Amino acid sequence: MLVKGEMEEDMVSDERMDDMLTVSEVARLLHVHPNTLRRWSNRGRIKSYRINPRGDRRYRLRDIEGFLAQLNSHGDGASEVR
């Protein structure tokens, strides 16, 4: 559970939101269910940023590209993600 100070550190300012993607957008890109993406974020496999007090997640495109590159460098990658 996040405490207020931790949440504020991870929250992203409006000017940096331009390169951010929503859970739904990233899930579509990766061909996974949004809950799978959230689980990966919770486990630290993909970096997410909390953008408001409600805790909505956003993902940087460059982080997603890095995640995909890492999967591709390991071959199939499906076993690596779980």
CATH number of the domain at 4-76, please? 1.10.1660.10
Q: How far apart are CA 68 and CA 5, in angstroms?
A: 31
* pLDDT, position 19: 86
Q: How far apart are CA 1 and CA 6, in angstroms?
A: 10
pLDDT digits (tens, 9 = 90+) for 4-39: 444 444 555 555 566 899 999 999 999 999 999 999
pLDDT digits (tens, 9 = 90+) for 33-56: 999 999 999 999 999 999 999 999
**Is the model's pLDDT at 77 over the cut of 90?**
no
pLDDT confidence band for 74 (50 / 70 / 90): confident
Residue pair 29/36 in contact (Cβ under 8 Å)? The answer is: no
Domain boundaries along the sequence of the chain: 4-76
Residue pair 34/24 in contact (Cβ under 8 Å)? The answer is: yes
Q: How far apart are CA 57 and CA 29, in angstroms?
A: 16
* pLDDT, position 2: 47
